[in-house]
Structure 1
Amino acid sequence: MKKLLAVVVTTLLLTLWSSDILASDSQPHRRALLIACSDFPNAPWVKPLPGARNDVARFAELLGSPKYNFRDVDTLAGWVEGSDRNPTADNIESAFKQLISKSGRDDQVFILLSGHGIQVDALPNVEGTLGLSEEPDGMDEAFIAADYGPDERVIRDDTIGSWLDQLKSKGAHVWIVFDCCHSGSLTRGDGDEEPRGLLSEEARQANQNSPRNDSHDTGIVDLVLNENEQGKDDPTQGSLVALFAAQNYETTPEMTRPVGAVASSENRRGLLSYHLEYLLNNVAGKTTYRDLENALAGRYYAERGMSGPNPYAEGDLDRTLFGLETIERNKSLGLSRKKDQYELLGGVMDGVTVGTILDVTSNDELIGTVEATEVGISRSVVRWIEPPPEDVASNLTSLNELTCEITKQPVMPWKVAVQWLSVSDAATPVSNQLKTWIATQQELDSSSIIAGTDSSARKWSVCVATPETARRRFGIEIKDTSILLLNSIAVQYDPTAPPSGNEVSVIYPASDLEKIQRDLTTDFERLFRMQRLFQLAGLYGDSGPMLSSRGVAVEFVPLAPDESPRNLKPLNRGDLQAGQEIAVKLSNKKSKTLWYTVLLVQSNGLIAPIHSGSIPAAAYSSRPTVLEIEKIRLRPTRGNAAYVAVTVPVLDQRKPADFSYLAQLPIGVHRVGENSATRSSDGEENAASSTTLGGLFSMTTRSTENKLAIRQDGSQIAVRSWSVTQQEAPRE
């Protein structure tokens, strides 16, 4: 899929524009484009969707009301022979171009596409940097225009992505809603439900040969989330939020609404549009798009339980609804109940440990307090310390109204072992103060570090070194006396032996004590999060003691265009060579659909989210579902890295379990644009030599002194790493 869009997070702290300001031509405007493809006169085999037309009519009324005050609402809906308002492919293109031409900086733009989705043969793409196609399954997702027929009049995802990119580049803040399937079926859904999707013959064939990858593949547009994207802080750049009605493997229905209404075309609605309209009619205060996504999940759960579809949003979700202000709320966790047991929708990956105290709120009002008694990777058992008053509890229609936030954290079991290393007689004004500060940090419950001992196999060391000492003891070249942070391998430097590539060292100028303390605190926290992630991988990995069921794996498969994908076997680490092009794939043998997050992790502290989404259950254990994550070319580098896939069963959690928030910069990097002063890696995607944890993570160790009270919760962490040390052969 062509990755066309980069989400730019605005940092302007302004309030919503008032209606009198919006009326001025020199001020931002609110504009809407509402498209409903409900009738298909050239394709009698395509089922009509009267609900799409109703969706657009209701949203036109809502947006034009005083509550939202959209003065410019353009609609293309239904089918009237000869009308220029029919949502044909040409009219849709013209409407988008007009919207682009008249939109400007800080305009609020709302777009609704209601109708059928489909997959069609992909058009030839510009080859990527590896000379590889960016459409691994050879299919484009598309929105079906009303003049769809034998000539397949559709609006492709790449085309929509290009239009959205143009709007964003003009400074507009865009919210686009797709109330359609990413792929679907011509068969009628159960009972009153009608799926909003078609499956072309090409898509049927593609689905037989290549399982879909729905990670950042929205089915209509691709979103590339890059917090360091150039232009992030450019106030002339706009932003984008995209809301989707279903995951790629799901269909989204059209049905009679409200519940109990007469079954007629006038009462047909798209499920997403119906619930979204309700929420927009009742929203109050400063509501972010993330708040809206959470509220949607709540309404779906109340109506459908854990049955699909699962709507989701991507983009600038912390921006206020039709506003410019960004509100980053504290991370909140949901609460559920199974019989007499309360479960928290969060676990160790979210920072919860046994004894963690959380405040429980309803509509931003504190109603009680809970404590975690059993903790899993993504779910925990809690008990009420201060239960809600009876009058409050009796008025709760659903636990889905409740959110929990961590307020007290006990001592963490995976602290980083750090020691002060005396290696030089060169005293500096800050050396003794820094040594004392580290000793103090090691004693604090809230700190990320503990004192390193001789038995700490993977301890880190902090020292003061002159240029000569740094060169002689560690093989490090520095210009002035500096503070060094070194892993155990760097401390064991042997000048007679070649570098192993696993040495990690960070250099801090020894001039400003406060800055050194701030930077070391940040780096200790990064190492702590890294250590926690990999020790959890040891517990929940393929050979881990806490894994209740196996079946998830990250695999490397060679790229061989002349070979059938079914004939290509996963590579062993001994088969890997520099210059080799491989596909990174995630496989699922389990009988459950899983949420997944794939992270690229390096031993210099970097945690980079690669993909997140859902992977369908396997039809048979012998035929796993396989998703292609990305393609890479192996290059020889120094340092360790691995792909880590964290998976959580979908049936346990309606809202996607996305662990992308674990992203962090490498140690030694403390501002955007700064390079890491380490010897661990040159930034390439190559790493150590293990498909299990083994010796991969030189900075981590599983503590035997702290007993980990972690429960089995159906989650699994899969790890795949590799090692390439030989030079890359010249390319022909």
Structure 2
Amino acid sequence: MQAHALAFCRAVSLAHLLIGIAWASTTAAQDRHAILVGVSGYPYLSEDARLNIGSDLDPTKDGPANDVLTMKTTLLQRGFANDNIVVLADGVSDTPLPTRANIISAFEATADKLVAGQDDYVFVFFAGHGSQQPARSRHMESEPDLLDETFLPYDVQPWDTEAELMPNALLDDEIGSLLAGLRNKGAFVWMVADTCHSATITRSNLVHLGEEVKFRSWDMRSNAGSSAHSMATSPVKVAPVDPVALEETAGGFVGFFAAQAHQSAPQARLPKNSEDQKTRGWFSYAFNMALSEQPDLTYGQLSQRILDLYNAEYISRFVTPYYENIDQFQGVAAFANTSGNRQMQWQVRKDFDGNLMLAAGLLHGIGTGTKLAVFPTATAGEDEVLGLVDVTHVKATEAKVEHVHDHKGDQPRIPARAWARLVEHEPALSLRVSLESASGASVPETNEIAESLRETASAQRTIRFVGNDQASDVRLVLHRDHLEFRLDPTDRIGHAAQGKAVPPLATPFPDQPELQQAIEDRLMKVYKSSLLMKAADVISEDPAIGGVELHMSLCANARPSCVDYPERAQITQPPSLSPGDRLQLSVVNTKFELIDYTVLHIDTDFAIAAVSQGRLTKDDDPQRIMQDKITPGQSGTQQLIVILVEGRPGEELSGFSFFQDPKTYLWARDTAPTMRGRTLELEVAERAQIAVYHWWSSEN
């Protein structure tokens, strides 16, 4: 599994996690393209590899073929031109076979059609077998479990015992490069994958589902030495895809994936009790069904509706879909690529004591006094509002809400599982910023910067402009040729500021808007790092979640073996690491059915990157979630923030990779700022843990 990505059910978006998220906007000239890949039969593998319930290759029986046809119908209804939809599927007439070479060619041909700067849109769909194989040597350092996730094209060959791979399998890194080729043209990409890599599960484990269920996973070694390849002439082995790095100007990405890392993607005869029953992937079926019921769903509402359909059929007891970048695009209409109006919403549920708990807290920027509107479902219209709630107590990953009332002042009945949408936001933290001039600085330029700060503070409630005579967290000092950012190492942001520096801004600036944006971008990095440290301090006041242990080890070039690496709280000075040293992080979970994890890296200049994110099951053995090599960079303190939260079956992964997005907290714009201190009233046990590791990095 990729250290900077998720298992194949989500690792195909590898490049986005390594670089970050780029945003695209819609223009009148935008073109829409689609690549639909469905693999049902595998002629070079044994017959039980086929994803059809019957024995013959038949579109009425083959799940991926049906999924591709249904998906194409959905796209045509959404305005995609037929000529811009590339279909690669066996069992579908007049379409090329989904071989490795044809899949690669389809991506390259689509990339050639895209126009840079036009903000085109590309929908990518994969359906078929997923699996794993030992990582190639050049990928070992980025693979914590030393495995590459793969998608199996039509012409994949039996397991090669000597090479430990399946020839013609499409690797996660290769899919990431193919996606990067699209996004580097400025195109927004929405990828949907109805596949996974887990070991095969037989129907006998799922008899309660009523219909025969087969899983889209394949144990590649099961074909080692098999004579199945005699069914056809051995196919040509296709060369590897050249690596493609994601550029800073790349288009955005959102991913919908059928299962978590440890799960398989099911298919069955659907719809139930219908004469039109065909073998379909459950995820594809729920995806298209949700869009047919409510065509105007946002990405966030669609993701929740799919979960609702899974829960209604008990599928969620075994499979939970994974959604990537859903926080960033939650309020954006499906098949749109602009950030739009981000309507933030989170689940509200009752705990064992009857308290209403919001599934958002400090790490989501929520502060005491925040007001939210409660709705019965994630897709409910504005006229279905049940009432309003106020946030009264805030913790790291959740908050207690009270004072439920409707417009008449009555107490409405709130269901056990409801949804709350942001109405009036109170930030969890306000960054105090002041400005002063050094000797020789220009007075007009000082006034210009002061005006920019006032405009930023009036629009962005997380930043507060204060006078020189007041305490500040960040003091801006204008020199003759640059603007300096001085951090006050007080207890308030001390952990975040220690050993770090904000890059100065060269002056003068060509225009006011550019200056304001540059200042805001730098301050937002400091703000988010401070928020992470504050959440770590808050959660440390409660005992860590029992039964879950973190193990960090350092494998230094100068040492023959790896050694334990302590958390920040256990040492006074950060250790000094050199380029080439490796950090490995594992989790032992002996108590909880599910644990969701996020690993964030904070660089010396406060830049935040998501290193790893996923979901772990209960296991007495260590599960490695990260393996990173130290690379040359700026001198200063670097940090890893590890966030663990108890996962809930049938619900989305509780992830925090959105911290790497520069626009994460821009939805929190309102009127005059309010200072909020740390809330110490922690009445409801929070099953979460935050660990901080830090080190000193030198330039060479």
The answer for the alignment partner of 1:331 in structure 2 is 344
Please list, as runs of the form range in 1=range in 2, the aligned pairs for 1:187-198 lying within 5 A after superposition.
Answer: 187-188=202-203, 189-191=205-207, 192-198=212-218
Secondary structure at the counterpart of residue 126 of structure 2: strand
Q: Deviations over 1:608-663 (max 9, x none)?
A: 0223422413522xx3322124221477x644331111221111782222223334
The answer for the alignment partner of 2:233 in structure 1 is none
The answer for the alignment partner of 2:358 in structure 1 is 344
Please list, as runs of the form range in 1=range in 2, the aligned pairs for 1:619-634 lying within 5 A after superposition.
Answer: 619-620=619-620, 623-633=621-631
Q: Distance in 1 between matches of 2:358 and 2:505?
A: 41
Q: Does 1:282 align with 2:293?
A: yes
Match of 2:25 among 9, 12, 30: 12
Gaps of 5+ in 2: 5-13, 53-61, 160-165, 225-239, 491-496, 667-675
The answer for the alignment partner of 1:688 in structure 2 is none
Q: Distance in 1 between matches of 2:465 and 2:187?
A: 49
Please state how far the C-alpha of 1:404 moved relative to its aligned partner. 1.5
The answer for the alignment partner of 1:57 in structure 2 is 69
Please state how far the C-alpha of 1:62 moved relative to its aligned partner. 3.7
The answer for the alignment partner of 1:469 in structure 2 is none
The answer for the alignment partner of 2:197 in structure 1 is 182
Query: Compared with structure 1, are the counterparts of its residues 552 and 607 closer, same or farther at alpha carbon in structure 2 (3 Å cutoff)?
Result: farther
Q: Does 1:307 align with 2:317?
A: yes
The answer for the alignment partner of 2:306 in structure 1 is 296
Please list, as runs of the form range in 1=range in 2, the aligned pairs for 1:388-427 lying within 5 A after superposition.
Answer: 399=417, 402-409=419-426
Q: Distance in 2 between matches of 1:334 and 1:160?
A: 33
Letter aligned with residue 296 of structure 1: I
Please state how far the C-alpha of 1:350 moved relative to its aligned partner. 1.4
Q: Deviations over 1:56-110 (max 9, x none)?
A: 3333444445865534555444469x99855444555565566566666766544
Query: Compared with structure 1, are the counterparts of its residues 273 and 514 closer, same or farther at alpha carbon in structure 2 (3 Å cutoff)?
Result: closer
Q: How many residues align?
A: 614
Q: Deviations over 1:462-502 (max 9, x none)?
A: 4878xxxxxxxxxxxx547977644259xxxxxxxxxx984
Checking the alignment, whether the CA contact within 8 Å between 1:16 and 1:322 is kept in structure 2 is: no
Match of 1:380 among 376, 389, 399: 399
Q: Distance in 1 between matches of 2:195 and 2:452?
A: 58
Please state how far the C-alpha of 1:348 moved relative to its aligned partner. 1.8
Match of 1:145 among 148, 153, 178: 153
Q: Report the more deviating stretch, 289-298 or 67-76.
A: 67-76
The answer for the alignment partner of 1:614 in structure 2 is 614
The answer for the alignment partner of 1:210 in structure 2 is none
Secondary structure at the counterpart of residue 537 of structure 2: helix
Checking the alignment, whether the CA contact within 8 Å between 2:268 and 2:282 is kept in structure 1 is: yes
Please state how far the C-alpha of 1:716 moved relative to its aligned partner. 0.8
Please state how far the C-alpha of 1:249 moved relative to its aligned partner. 1.4
Checking the alignment, whether the CA contact within 8 Å between 1:548 and 1:712 is kept in structure 2 is: no
Secondary structure at the counterpart of residue 293 of structure 1: helix
Q: Distance in 1 between matches of 2:464 and 2:262?
A: 44
Q: Distance in 2 between matches of 1:570 and 1:142?
A: 32
Q: TM-score, normalised by structure 2?
A: 0.70
Checking the alignment, whether the CA contact within 8 Å between 2:35 and 2:106 is kept in structure 1 is: no
Q: Distance in 1 between matches of 2:458 and 2:336?
A: 45
Please list, as runs of the form range in 1=range in 2, the aligned pairs for 1:241-252 lying within 5 A after superposition.
Answer: 241-252=254-265
Letter aligned with residue 352 of structure 1: I
Secondary structure at the counterpart of residue 280 of structure 1: helix
Q: Deviations over 1:543-574 (max 9, x none)?
A: x33534363436242067998xxx73324578
Q: Distance in 1 between matches of 2:95 and 2:456?
A: 70
Secondary structure at the counterpart of residue 640 of structure 1: strand
Checking the alignment, whether the CA contact within 8 Å between 1:33 and 1:75 is kept in structure 2 is: yes
Q: Distance in 2 between matches of 1:134 and 1:99?
A: 29
Letter aligned with residue 657 of structure 2: S
Q: Distance in 2 between matches of 1:594 and 1:526?
A: 28
Q: Deviations over 1:132-169 (max 9, x none)?
A: 74445443222223444536453333443444344445
Checking the alignment, whether the CA contact within 8 Å between 2:367 and 2:425 is kept in structure 1 is: no
Secondary structure at the counterpart of residue 693 of structure 2: strand
The answer for the alignment partner of 2:47 in structure 1 is 44
Q: Distance in 1 between matches of 2:503 and 2:81?
A: 54
Q: Distance in 1 between matches of 2:338 and 2:517?
A: 29
Gaps of 5+ in 1: 18-27, 205-219, 233-237, 466-477, 490-499, 671-701
Q: Does 1:644 align with 2:641?
A: yes
The answer for the alignment partner of 1:547 in structure 2 is 544
Q: Distance in 2 between matches of 1:109 and 1:503?
A: 39
Please state how far the C-alpha of 1:276 moved relative to its aligned partner. 0.9
Secondary structure at the counterpart of residue 624 of structure 1: strand
Q: TM-score, normalised by structure 1?
A: 0.67
Checking the alignment, whether the CA contact within 8 Å between 2:104 and 2:178 is kept in structure 1 is: no
Which structure has more RCO (C-alpha within 8 Å, separation ≥ 6)? 2
Q: Does 1:656 align with 2:653?
A: yes
Please tell me whether Structure 1 or Structure 2 has the larger radius of gyration of its CA atoms: 1
Q: Distance in 2 between matches of 1:380 and 1:53?
A: 45
Letter aligned with residue 269 of structure 2: T
Checking the alignment, whether the CA contact within 8 Å between 2:477 and 2:483 is kept in structure 1 is: yes
Q: Deviations over 1:347-367 (max 9, x none)?
A: 121122333211235324461
Q: Distance in 2 between matches of 1:259 and 1:310?
A: 20
Q: Distance in 1 between matches of 2:181 and 2:658?
A: 28
Letter aligned with residue 278 of structure 1: M
Q: Distance in 2 between matches of 1:708 and 1:445?
A: 27
Please list, as runs of the form range in 1=range in 2, the aligned pairs for 1:433-448 lying within 5 A after superposition.
Answer: 448=463
Secondary structure at the counterpart of residue 617 of structure 1: strand
Q: Distance in 2 between matches of 1:279 and 1:86?
A: 29
Q: Distance in 2 between matches of 1:421 and 1:514?
A: 18
Match of 2:389 among 358, 361, 370: 370
Q: Distance in 2 between matches of 1:521 and 1:322?
A: 30
Letter aligned with residue 126 of structure 2: L
Letter aligned with residue 404 of structure 1: R
Checking the alignment, whether the CA contact within 8 Å between 1:77 and 1:85 is kept in structure 2 is: yes
The answer for the alignment partner of 1:600 in structure 2 is 601
Q: Distance in 2 between matches of 1:390 and 1:16?
A: 49
Query: Compared with structure 1, are the counterparts of its residues 389 and 453 closer, same or farther at alpha carbon in structure 2 (3 Å cutoff)?
Result: same
Please state how far the C-alpha of 1:607 moved relative to its aligned partner. 4.3
Q: Deviations over 1:477-531 (max 9, x none)?
A: x547977644259xxxxxxxxxx98485886899999999988777666545433
Please list, as runs of the form range in 1=range in 2, the aligned pairs for 1:207-218 lying within 5 A after superposition.
Answer: none
% identity of equivalent residues? 21
Please state how far the C-alpha of 1:703 moved relative to its aligned partner. 6.9
Please list, as runs of the form range in 1=range in 2, the aligned pairs for 1:686-701 lying within 5 A after superposition.
Answer: none
Q: Distance in 2 between matches of 1:84 and 1:517?
A: 52
Query: Compared with structure 1, are the counterparts of its residues 554 and 632 closer, same or farther at alpha carbon in structure 2 (3 Å cutoff)?
Result: farther
Match of 1:715 among 665, 672, 688: 688
The answer for the alignment partner of 2:493 in structure 1 is none
Q: Deviations over 1:326-383 (max 9, x none)?
A: 4241332222345744321211211223332112353244612111233332222323
CA root-mean-square deviation: 5.4
Secondary structure at the counterpart of residue 583 of structure 1: strand
Q: Distance in 1 between matches of 2:80 and 2:186?
A: 20
Please state how far the C-alpha of 1:178 moved relative to its aligned partner. 1.5
Letter aligned with residue 197 of structure 2: H
Checking the alignment, whether the CA contact within 8 Å between 1:358 and 1:404 is kept in structure 2 is: yes
Letter aligned with residue 646 of structure 1: I
Q: Distance in 2 between matches of 1:643 and 1:146?
A: 41
Secondary structure at the counterpart of residue 158 of structure 2: coil
Checking the alignment, whether the CA contact within 8 Å between 2:404 and 2:411 is kept in structure 1 is: no
Please list, as runs of the form range in 1=range in 2, the aligned pairs for 1:448-467 lying within 5 A after superposition.
Answer: 448=463, 460=473, 462=475
Secondary structure at the counterpart of residue 49 of structure 2: coil
Query: Compared with structure 1, are the counterparts of its residues 488 and 452 closer, same or farther at alpha carbon in structure 2 (3 Å cutoff)?
Result: farther
Query: Compared with structure 1, are the counterparts of its residues 196 and 391 closer, same or farther at alpha carbon in structure 2 (3 Å cutoff)?
Result: farther
Q: Distance in 1 between matches of 2:180 and 2:218?
A: 27
The answer for the alignment partner of 1:474 in structure 2 is none
Query: Compared with structure 1, are the counterparts of its residues 391 and 277 closer, same or farther at alpha carbon in structure 2 (3 Å cutoff)?
Result: farther
Q: Distance in 2 between matches of 1:184 and 1:607?
A: 38
Please state how far the C-alpha of 1:584 moved relative to its aligned partner. 3.9
Please state how far the C-alpha of 1:38 moved relative to its aligned partner. 4.1
